[in-house]
A and B are shown apart, each in its own frame.
Chain A
Amino acid sequence: MNGSVNTLALLPEGILTLAGVLVMLAEPILKPGTSRKPLGWLAIIATVLAGVASGYQLHLYNLHGTMRAFSDSIQIDPFSVFFHLLIAAVVFVTLLGSLDYFEGKATHAGEYFALVLFGAVGMMLMTCSVELLMVFVGLEISSISTYIMAGFRKGKATGTEASIKYFLLGSFATAFFLYGIALAFGATGSTSIAAIAGALGASATPRLAFLALAMIIIGLGFKVSAAPFQVWTPDVYQGAPAPVVGLMSTAPKAAAFAVLLRITFFGFASMEARWSVLMWAIAALSMTIGNLGALKQKNVKRMLAYSSIAHAGYLIAAFTAFPENGIAAACFYTAAYSAMNVGAFAVITQLSGYEEHTRTIEDFTGAALRRPWLGALMTFFLLSMIGIPFTGGFFAKFYVFSAAISGGHTGLAVVGLLNSGVACFYYLRLLVAMYARHPHELGNDRAVFTKVSVPASCGLAAAALGTLVLGILPGRFVKLANRGSLAVMTIAKPAAADTPVETGVNTAPK
């Protein structure tokens, strides 16, 4: 199927684009003031279909092997399917949780659903592209959607601030990414990841190539909010609507990590000795800055923003390991992180509502006692973030740090786990506040008491189930992540053959 214009390769993206366009067309036709829920349901159905399409692609892969399309710029393998499914799941939960969120509050609520879908298209495109320019196109599609969504509560000053900050710094980072692509082209004569991998060994300008990689890492580091490119995160998370934060703290990051994994572990594999030092530093820095920053936060969304910086750090620790362990560990971490984070923000969405009644930790005092089920779910997600066993977060940390230790980086594991010790403190402050007995003790009784709608409860249940299953039966997911890691290292057989990809497994699964 090489080289052909194979539309099957972009089937999930196609479905989502079509649905997005339909939503955009329907939005102005619907009378102002009428419910936008049907548009939301359309988006949800499209997301489910996109997930099914990704599953079908995996089926095709099992039958025919790796599928490439559009002049080898798109590659469908278990790695891309893993991230497609992850993104679809995150979008699914987000949409379920935000069906009622904008209802009657924001004008043009339908646009929100379209933007979520377009964002998902961009993210999915990123994960299956093996051509840097194609990655760039995906990155832009997803970024622009998230810029707009961040400021979707138009009346709020913090929302606008969030949107503008995110947009300006985001464009800056994208410029770095583009610059990196240009330098990579200069050093190797190609923008295809496989070709870069092939040409890198013979490159006359290895320093230029490394500079290119460094630029790319900066660009993607911004997207995943890794230190020292994290400054935008707290402000944006604080200002953006809760369901949007749930989405943008998980799915675009997953996509950016997917790209980073492909570029580092395959494209620039021969330079691993150099970039793994860089990753070591970024990982240690992100964890420390994230956790120390979170300690003094009073606003819950800001605190979770710093927490997401720290989680990016834990995840990047996987990049220092051997490829076959590191990639699988990173994939697993992405999945677990997405499940618990999207779940936590879904709970916050329900508790604080559109007007954000509960902002600070004190506002959450006693919330778990008045809303036992929401409280229990939030507790579960927070415990997963701390890394308590029987949750996805625990196994995620476990895999990442055991990969780092077997790669000889015991020091990084010690830094990481001490960091998770620090981290438990601020998660606990929130958890303990939610269970503190007398909510009136502090004069705060702000949590919203509206009933959680059925779709929202389904979304919450899905996130909780994901976190639980990843924490009790991680075997199946590890297997898929593992197949994904093999796929990354066998991106293109001819190129791989003459590239000194390091140890181990670079034979293609037939």
Chain B
Amino acid sequence: MNFDHSILSLIVFCPLVGAVVLALLPDRGKTMAFGALTVTVLTFLLTLHLPSHYAAAESVGSFRFVQDSAWIPAPAIRYHLGVDGLGMWLVVLTGFLAPLGVLASWNAIAERRKTFYVLFLLQQVAMLGIFVALDLFLYYAFWELSLVPMTILIATFGRTKARRTAAIKYFVYAFVPSALLLVGILWLYAKTGTFDLPRLTGLAAAHHISGNTAALWLCSLAFLLAFAVKVPVFPLHGWLRDSIAEAPTAAVMVLAGKTGLYSILRFSFAIFPEQSHRIAPLMIALGALGIVYGSLIAITRKDLKELAAYSTLGHLSFITLGIFTFTIAGLDGGIYQILNHGISGGALFLLLGFLYERYGTYDMRDLGGLAARLPWMITLYVITTLSLIGLPILNSFVGEFLVLAGTMQSTSEHHVFWTVFATTGVILSAAYMLWMIQRVFYGHLGVVSQEIAPHDLNGREQLALWPMVALMLLMGVASPYWMHTLDANAVKIATVPSPAEQHPHERVEIRTTASTGFVDPQLSQEALRALATTGKIKSSQPAPAPEGRLY
């Protein structure tokens, strides 16, 4: 039986069905945890179908496993799912991290288990949906949905009394730019009559979206802003520290990075290629600044979670830097680094969570001298740390090296400066990470570590950590296996877009009258108007009236 056309739906809705079932089951003992584990493992097994059948799957454009059917007839919203290399590996990564998140919450979540696991599964649905949706509208729906479970998770399971503020901060930070993103999406629809990503990409490549450059720029900025906040890109990281400090381990593992970066790669770059190339120098600068800023702040932190939060900012800035170089090496490295960060960053948060379960504190001053007492813990901790620092033969080395190589390849002096600047971040990150190891595991026994009897990682915890450690090594030595599916994305994005011609309106007009295929009545109308006003449309003027009904 061929699952290829329904596998993505199965993957997205498996956790949803699981959430509904859990909501109806009674909350007794470990029922909820076992239920969630079953559902997440099942989802992960389903996601494994993707890489194993990727080569053989029928491809539509650059996407595979495509499912495309009408959802709402007017406005034309389609249920359009599909993945390419990038989307596929992110889906697999999300599926992979979910059971580990459940294992991490096994004892940490002792009350309100039902609320926790139901929300955790809903969060999975939203994230998987983001990675597979190819209809802008459907994508936006999942994008907004992803805010809700996380907000409630932080509000209910936050660590300190600041949880309510942290929850609201997280939501507002993400929601306000998303509102502008919605304006952008609606504007695109008003101009083109479609939410379909492949179609919009085609129109964008042919400069067919709109002749109004100012409006296109504003629209591209609305997209970029919404995504950049979610990554977060320096200086939009205001929510990150509070959310990471408050959220429970399983939620922190999926909090930052993936969705925002994926959206930039998938939507900003595809619909606004020209604008993205033009804004790249700014983003490269912000990326480099973010690396150094994040690392410097991380050095000063005493609280492990805060340290991890700023280290997250630093590592995500690396990715921002890489993808905005628009070189194949930079993009390859950036994309690979998204996966790496998901694994290594996730492992770090898991370990921090396990430490907290034992000692009830994230303050490094209270810990210390744990190496001799927790031999397994220190082993895995050091491996994770080395992976995050970017030691050769471990995963992040490949990504960071490619990012920096890509930045250097660029011809402009400007980039060379930022490359050198960003490279200091590698040293700084080694500094704070190793310092952290030293303060937590070596030296004198801290107050808390003296008081509480040591117990090393148990079987469940090892089960959660070993797959990640194995992947760190595997992705470090066998990177070509991943690269060869990711490469297509990088090559496509790195291609410099053909610049719009001097008189785009005349050209559009000729095309729409001459072509026999796709004729957009609105475009031709716009072109006529533009000709009448000698190629200038003021942005303050009302847009031309669409001929067709909206719905």
Decide whether A and B are members of one complex. Answer: yes
> Is A421's CB under 8 angstroms from B168's CB?
no
Partner of B172, one of A322, A398, A428, A478: A428
- Which DSSP category, helix, strand, loop or mixed, fits chain A's interface? helix
Q: Which of B503-551 contact A (CB under 8 A)?
A: 541-543, 545-546, 549-551
A401 is an interface residue with CB less than 8 A from chain B: yes
Shortest distance between the CB of B20 and any CB in chain A (Å): 12
Q: B-facing mask of A381-413, CB < 8 A → 1, else 0?
A: 001001011100010001101110111111001
Known: A402-B190, A414-B183. A389 touches B142 (CB 8 A): yes
> Is B550's CB under 8 angstroms from A406's CB?
yes
B167 is an interface residue with CB less than 8 A from chain A: yes
Q: Which of B150-175 contact A (CB under 8 A)?
A: 151-152, 155-158, 163-164, 167-168, 171-172, 175
> Is A478's CB under 8 angstroms from B74's CB?
yes
Size category of the B interface is: 35 or more
> Is A432's CB under 8 angstroms from B550's CB?
no
Interface size in chain A (residues, C-beta < 8 A): 49
> Is A410's CB under 8 angstroms from B183's CB?
yes
Number of A-B contacts (CB under 8 A): 125
Known: A421-B172, A421-B176, A503-B545. A437 touches B157 (CB 8 A): yes
Whole-angstrom CA separation of A433 from B171 in the bound complex: 14
Whole-angstrom CA separation of A406 from B551 in the bound complex: 11
> Is A407's CB under 8 angstroms from B542's CB?
yes
> Is A389's CB under 8 angstroms from B144's CB?
yes
Known: A369-B115, A389-B142, A402-B190. A432 touches B164 (CB 8 A): yes
Known: A328-B551, A402-B75, A475-B72. A436 touches B142 (CB 8 A): no
A420 is an interface residue with CB less than 8 A from chain B: yes
Shortest distance between the CB of B109 and any CB in chain A (Å): 12
Whole-angstrom CA separation of A322 from B550 in the bound complex: 10
Whole-angstrom CA separation of A266 from B213 in the bound complex: 37
Partner of A424, one of B140, B163, B171, B550: B171
| A482 surroundings in chain B (CB, below 8 A) | 551
> Is A405's CB under 8 angstroms from B187's CB?
yes
Q: Which residue from chain B places its CB closest to the CB of A365 in the assembled complex?
A: B164
Q: Which of A349-396 contact B (CB under 8 A)?
A: 369, 372, 379, 383, 386, 388-390, 394
Whole-angstrom CA separation of A394 from B148 in the bound complex: 14
Q: Which residue from chain B places its CB closest to the CB of A409 in the assembled complex?
A: B542
Known: A325-B551, A407-B542, A478-B551. A390 touches B145 (CB 8 A): yes
Partner of A425, one of B157, B172, B546: B172
> Is B549's CB under 8 angstroms from A324's CB?
yes
Q: Which residue from chain B places its CB closest to the CB of A324 in the assembled complex?
A: B549
| A325 surroundings in chain B (CB, below 8 A) | 549-551
> Is A405's CB under 8 angstroms from B190's CB?
yes
Shortest distance between the CB of B267 and any CB in chain A (Å): 16
B186 is an interface residue with CB less than 8 A from chain A: yes
A435 is an interface residue with CB less than 8 A from chain B: yes
> Is B140's CB under 8 angstroms from A389's CB?
yes
| B155 surroundings in chain A (CB, below 8 A) | 431-432, 435-436
> Is B172's CB under 8 angstroms from A405's CB?
no
A14 is an interface residue with CB less than 8 A from chain B: no
B427 is an interface residue with CB less than 8 A from chain A: no
Q: B-facing mask of A429-446, CB < 8 A → 1, else 0?
A: 101110111000000000
| B546 surroundings in chain A (CB, below 8 A) | 406
Q: Which of A48-68 contact B (CB under 8 A)?
A: none
Whole-angstrom CA separation of A448 from B46 in the bound complex: 45
Shortest distance between the CB of A477 and any CB in chain B (Å): 11
Q: Which of B479-507 contact A (CB under 8 A)?
A: none
Whole-angstrom CA separation of A322 from B541 in the bound complex: 16
Q: Which of A112-128 contact B (CB under 8 A)?
A: none
Contact residues of A with B, CB < 8 Å?
322, 324-325, 328, 369, 372, 379, 383, 386, 388-390, 394, 398-399, 401-403, 405-410, 413-414, 417-418, 420-422, 424-425, 428-429, 431-433, 435-437, 473-475, 478, 482, 503-505
Other than A394-B141, A437-B163, give 12 A-B pairs with Cβ distance below 8 A: A325-B551, A369-B156, A390-B145, A402-B189, A403-B550, A405-B186, A405-B190, A407-B542, A421-B172, A432-B151, A436-B164, A478-B551
Contact residues of B with A, CB < 8 Å?
72-75, 112, 114-115, 140-142, 144-145, 147-148, 151-152, 155-158, 163-164, 167-168, 171-172, 175-176, 179-180, 182-183, 186-187, 189-190, 215, 541-543, 545-546, 549-551
CB<8 Å pairs between A and B, sample of 14: A369-B112, A398-B186, A399-B551, A402-B189, A402-B190, A403-B550, A405-B190, A408-B543, A410-B183, A410-B187, A424-B175, A432-B155, A432-B168, A505-B549
